[in-house]
Amino acid sequence: MTHTRLTLILTGVMCALTLGAQQPKGLKKLRAAQVSVLAHTAGGALQQGQGTLISEDGIVVVQYDVMKNATRAMVIDQAGTEHAVTEILGANSAYNMVKMRMEPGKKKNACLTIAAQQPSERALVFVIPSEKADKSVPCDIDTVTRVEEFGNGFKYLTLSREIGERQANSPVVNQEGALVGFVQLATQKGHPSYVIDANYANSLTVTPLDAGNSDLNSIHIRKALPEKEEDALTYIFLTGKKDTAMYDAYINQFIAEHPANTTGYTMKAEQQAEQGLYSQAAATYAEALGREGTKADELHYSLSKVIYGLSMSAGYKPYGDWTLDRSLSEAQQAYSINPLPAYTMQEANCLYAMKRYQEAGDKFLELTGTNLRTPDLFMYAAQCRLKSQADTAQVIALMDSALNCFTKPYPVAAASIILLRAKTLAETGKYREAISGYNEFEHLSGSTLTANFYYEREQLETRCRMYAPALNDIEKAIRLSPRDPVLHAEAAALNYRVSQNEQAITYARQAIALDGEFADAHRILGVCLLEKGEKAEARQHLMRARELGDPLADGILKKAE
């Protein structure tokens, strides 16, 4: 009996010694890196889980399930200190991982150091107890049974047994206490659990294209901007302004990280102006102009565009001297610092809005000699010349220059210029040339034409006594807009002119059916009925036309007596 008791005592001692020997180094310090995470959703739900600090400056790895839909989150360290989560550094729902940053404390954070090398098969690893477990609870010891590779050389380890749910996302370390990875639960009950490489968790980042990443967008906490300036700006642009508070936060974050980058200030000021915060926008521009390294020309240009846009908006009440004069002045200052064509364009826009058409036209023409040369510039200049009542030949010449920017046969892009040129020719009485323009426009536009187009061309064809195409066009117009009384009245007048009296009467009656108060239709029908010899009904419609204010009806009535 004594021998048996001694054997049991020795066995217990040996087990204790073995267990102690197999615990990782510095377990107490390792457990200090474990934190509790509390996440709140917009609906008021509280989601809880454990996280692990992997850097002294507060980078935490936590389960994605804990952070999904969160609008704010708190990290509680082993000392019971609360730290707000300030930004999300990366996320992946497939591997149930989020990397995030918490607000720093007064002291450096205890953290786990990632192992320089991942364990091989049959190596021992240690699963640290859950964050809520008693500090006397030892690590679970397990063996790696399989090592697989994924992604950019990351390791996925299979353990020998199943780990309980309470230890989901628990850190796994080697004998030296270096972080190997994080527990992922078994896919089926009774199957072994897995360990995902800590290097993968640490590799999670935000890229420009992550603006559309559903995993990240399901966490409603500010994301860390990509490190490179151009990547960060791309991310902000792609994120958009749907969430204005988040957009504002990103801009402020960008300025803090890149204080000499002009774009951050222009984006901020333009956003403030868009929100009606004019004094704040003015202060942002002033701050940026005083900041070393910013580009003054871009700031003056941005301010010019902001004031111009406001001045063109209905209901805008000028803030201080934020008028078109100030907008022009800012554009001129930008150009004096850096003579870019874009700044000349802004000057031209301001001058046009100020009705200084001659000067605006000169600016647009000046731009045709730069890399901004487009057909539109010639058309803008032509419009300015029209507004300043220049010779029509000069206007047509500018339109011709616009067309010369294209090669024949003209592409669809030239269609609008061709039509405007045709309308200008029509206004000067060059009807046949105008009709040629309308025909070219029809050829380029195909089946997308309107009733108004055919009506306008019919008017020109009638003036040129081209009655057959005119009749064809007015019929097309009616087919496209059958309830327009003006088109029916026009068809009646045209048919009367070519001695097709019955058709004229039919169209005139249709016009009256659509609008009984249409004086022109009553007069035209009266004339057609007189021609047919139906004087009584003719007089009724002519008298009705006179009652409706038609100045020609009375003279026709007198002749009919």
Phi, psi of 67 (to 5 degrees): -95, -15
Q: Which helix (H) or strand (E) holds 392?
A: helix 392-403
Domains identified in the chain and CATH numbers: 26-224 (2.40.10.120), 483-561 (1.25.40.10)
| Cβ contact 488:510 at 8 Å | yes
pLDDT surpassing 60 at residue 4: no
**Which residue has better confidence, 4 or 180?**
180
pLDDT tens-digit series, residues 482-497? 999 999 999 999 999 9
In total, the chain counts a number of residues equal to 561
C-beta atoms surrounding 289 within 10 Å: 15
Q: In the structure, what pLDDT confidence band is assigned to residue 323 with cuts at 50, 70 and 90?
A: very high
Give residue 188's pLDDT: 86
Q: What interhelical angle do 357-367 and 375-387 show, nearest 10?
A: 160
Residue pLDDT, tens place only, 505-548: 999 999 999 999 999 999 999 999 999 999 999 999 999 999 99
Q: Is the pLDDT of residue 7 over 70?
A: no
- Residues 20 and 516: their CA atoms lie apart, in Å, by 105
> Helix 262-274 vs helix 244-257: angle between axes, to the nearest 10 degrees?
150
What per-residue confidence (pLDDT) applies to 133? 84
**pLDDT tier at 135, thresholds 50, 70, 90:** confident
Q: Which of 380, 374, 376, 373 is nearest to 351 (CA)?
A: 380
The DSSP output letter for 161 is S
**Model pLDDT, residue 17:** 38
Residues linked to residue 156 through DSSP beta bridges, in sequence order: 148, 196
CA distance 183 to 163: 8
Report whether pLDDT(9) > 80.
no
H or E segment at 265? Answer: helix 262-274
**415, 444 contact by CB (below 8 A):** yes
What pLDDT score was predicted for residue 106?
81
- Yes or no: say if 233 and 263 are a contact pair by the CB < 8 Å rule: yes
Cβ atoms of 395 and 364 within 8 Å: the answer is no
Q: Which of 276, 297, 433, 341 is nearest to 288 (CA)?
A: 297
Which is more confidently placed, 132 or 469?
Answer: 469
Q: How far apart are the first and last CA of the chain?
A: 149
Residue 379 tokens read as: 């058309």
Half-sphere exposure of 191 (CA within 13 A, CB side): 8
The rounded distance, in Å, linking the Cα atoms of 241 and 530 is: 68
In angstroms, the Cα distances linking 93 to 41, 61, 87, 151, 218 are 17, 13, 17, 15, 10
Q: What are the pLDDT digits (tens) for 191-232?
A: 999 999 999 999 999 999 999 999 999 999 999 999 999 999
Predicted confidence band at 187 (pLDDT cuts at 50, 70, 90)? confident
The pLDDT assigned to 262 comes to 98
Segment 309-329 shows an average pLDDT of 97
| Average confidence score pLDDT of the chain | 94
What are the respective helix, strand and coil percentages of the chain, to the nearest 5?
55, 15, 35
The three state secondary structure string of 102-119 is ECCCCCCCCCCCECCCCC
Averaged pLDDT, 30-50: 95
Pull the structure tokens for residue 253: 């974050």
pLDDT, tens digit, 9 for 90 and up, residues 249-292? 999 999 999 999 999 999 999 999 999 999 999 999 999 999 99
Distances (CA, A) of 211 to 130, 231, 265, 475, 517: 34, 11, 21, 53, 59
pLDDT of residue 107: 83
What token pair was written down for 380?
């803008």
pTM of the model: 0.81
Q: What is the pLDDT of residues 417-465, one digit of tens each?
A: 999 999 999 999 999 999 999 999 999 998 789 999 999 999 999 999 9
Structure letter (DSSP) for residue 138: P
Q: Is the pLDDT of residue 316 over 50?
A: yes
| pLDDT tens, residue by residue, 372-414 | 999 999 999 999 999 999 999 999 999 999 999 999 999 999 9
Beta bridge partners of 36: 50, 76
